[in-house]
Amino acid sequence: MDEELQREFDRVVAAEQRIEPRDWMPEGYRRTLIRQIAQHAHSEIIGMQPEGNWITRAPSLRRKAILLAKVQDEAGHGLYLYAATETLGADREDLTQKLINGRQKYSSIFNYPTLSFADVGVIGWLVDGAAICNQVPLCRTSYGPYARAMIRVCKEESFHQRQGYELLMTMMRGTEAQRRQVQDAVDRWWWPSLMMFGPPDDASSNTEQSMAWRIKRHTNDELRQKFVDMSVPQADKLGVTLPDPELRWNAERGHHDFGTPDWDEFWRVVKGDGPCNAQRVAHRRKSHDDGAWVREAATAHAAKRAAKESAA
Amino acid sequence: MSEPRSSWPLYEVFVRGKRGLNHVHVGSLHAPDDEMALRNARDLYTRRNEGVSIWVVPAAAITASSPDEKDPFFAPSGDKVYRHPTFYAIPEDVPHL
């Protein structure tokens, strides 16, 4: 029986059709998806913090409204993704507990601090740009609810990236000090952005199986290359220098050659030793705890109303 | 200690994109009651004019066909090609048919 179910699963995946929640699926597929989607959801939720840091200090009402909308989108993306994990049998509260107890990870990029308002622009341009490279292929991932969530996310990320680039263009037209802030932010975020695609292919333990299941459609190194090729002309147009002396066009390959990210730093931050790891998780835990009374009050109100209705 | 939030029931959310279209399933959310489900659905699924009408339905109230019985369940429609217009051969020179 299991063999037959496995054959049907393999056939659906190979035919580029989608696996849906109530279909039979291998346990490993389910586990991998829950881990990946939860990690993705956590990243969206933690990702609210570095930019939320600047909402009260945005330089104009226009920038504040944009930033608020963007941070609200991140919350929305987190919720679309938690909803997708629940179709696999995960429990949202359990995932939140795993995040605030440090048992599940989120993207390491959010463990870096946002030191100036230019960081808001660079996060939109580079961090959201890298996220888009990662996420566009996920719109065709083999698990239906994940693919559908990613379609919604990608539509909204485009606004994120464009507002960031426009913010940077505005600063580059400003004072010398503003241009220096932009360059400084680019210098700090470029390498962590390249690390967002994960370790090199030969060190990525999950890639092969995920590609076979068509959860993942491209390898980490392929996506990283694509991101570099996209970013170089954008940096030129902006008038900033990407901090990589080895970066140059390779006509033979039809791609840019570029340097190697500091993978020791990557693993240090993944393992918890980044500039903001402790702060990010502590803040998430605190806001969850601070919101407990709201959850209790809403539950009590619903119970009271239900009791009134059944008495009437 | 408060109840875990997952004790809030799960709602499935359906949005009518514009007048003239069906409501379409867009995702799910948890909420303590119907009214909060509707408000949360508005905030979560229609931040950019994606809808003119929202339905929220407790997930527990949905009855679904089982994937295990997929083939037999839909078999009755499988062998009735005569339900499709292309089943009927009509000469090409017959107009408007």
Please report, in tens digits, the pLDDT of each residue of chain A (312 residues total).
688 899 999 999 999 999 999 899 999 999 999 999 999 999 999 999 999 999 999 999 999 999 999 999 999 999 999 999 999 999 999 999 999 999 999 999 999 999 999 999 999 999 999 999 999 999 999 999 999 999 999 999 989 999 999 999 999 999 999 999 999 999 999 999 999 999 999 888 778 899 999 999 999 999 999 999 999 999 999 999 999 999 999 999 999 999 999 999 999 999 999 999 999 999 999 999 999 999 999 999 999 998 998 887
Q: Do B32 and A298 touch (CB under 8 A)?
A: yes
Residues A248, A257 contacting (CB under 8 angstroms): yes
Question: CB B94: neighbour CB atoms within 10 A?
Answer: 7
Pick among 3.30.70.1350, 1.20.1260.10, 3.40.50.800, 1.10.3720.10: CATH of A1-311: 1.20.1260.10
Q: Which of A154, A157, A153 is nearest to A127 (CA)?
A: A157
Task: Tell me what pLDDT residue A207 has.
Answer: 83
CATH number at residue B19: 3.10.20.520
Q: How many structural domains does chain B have? A: 1
Cβ partners under 8 Å of residue A118, min gap 6 = A168, A171, A178, A181, A182, A184, A185
Could you tell me if A149 lies within 8 Å of chain B, comparing CB atoms?
yes
Q: Residue A80: closest CA among chain B residues belongs to which residue? A: B27
Distance from CA of B77 to the nearest CA of A (A): 21
Q: Which domain holds residue B63?
A: 10-79
Residue B15 forms part of a structural domain: yes
Percent of chain B having pLDDT more than 70? 91
Residue B72 forms part of a structural domain: yes
Q: What is the ipTM of this complex?
A: 0.88
Task: Tell me what pLDDT residue B70 has.
Answer: 64
Residue B68 forms part of a structural domain: yes
Which residues in chain B are closer than 8 Å to A24, comparing Cβ atoms? 67
Kindly state the average pLDDT of the residues B45-52. Answer: 93
Residue B65 forms part of a structural domain: yes
Task: Tell me what pLDDT residue B4 has.
Answer: 47
Looking at every residue in chain B, the average pLDDT score rounds to 88
Q: Tell which of B15, B30, B49, B63 to mutate to test the A interface (max A CBs under 10 Å).
A: B30
Residue B62 forms part of a structural domain: yes
pTM: 0.92
Residue B44 forms part of a structural domain: yes
Residue B1 forms part of a structural domain: no
Going from N- to C-terminal start, the domains of chain A cover 1-311
pLDDT band at B1 (very low <50, low <70, confident <90, very high): very low
CB contacts < 8 A (A, B): 60
Which residues in chain A are closer than 8 Å to B47, comparing Cβ atoms? 69, 72-73, 76
Task: Tell me what pLDDT residue A91 has.
Answer: 92
Residues A159, A126 contacting (CB under 8 angstroms): no
Residue B56 forms part of a structural domain: yes
Distance from CA of B85 to the nearest CA of A (A): 27
Q: What span, in angstroms and rounded, lies between the C-alpha atoms of A306 and A259? A: 62
Q: Residue B32: closest CA among chain A residues belongs to which residue? A: A299
Q: What span, in angstroms and rounded, lies between the C-alpha atoms of B92 and B94? A: 6
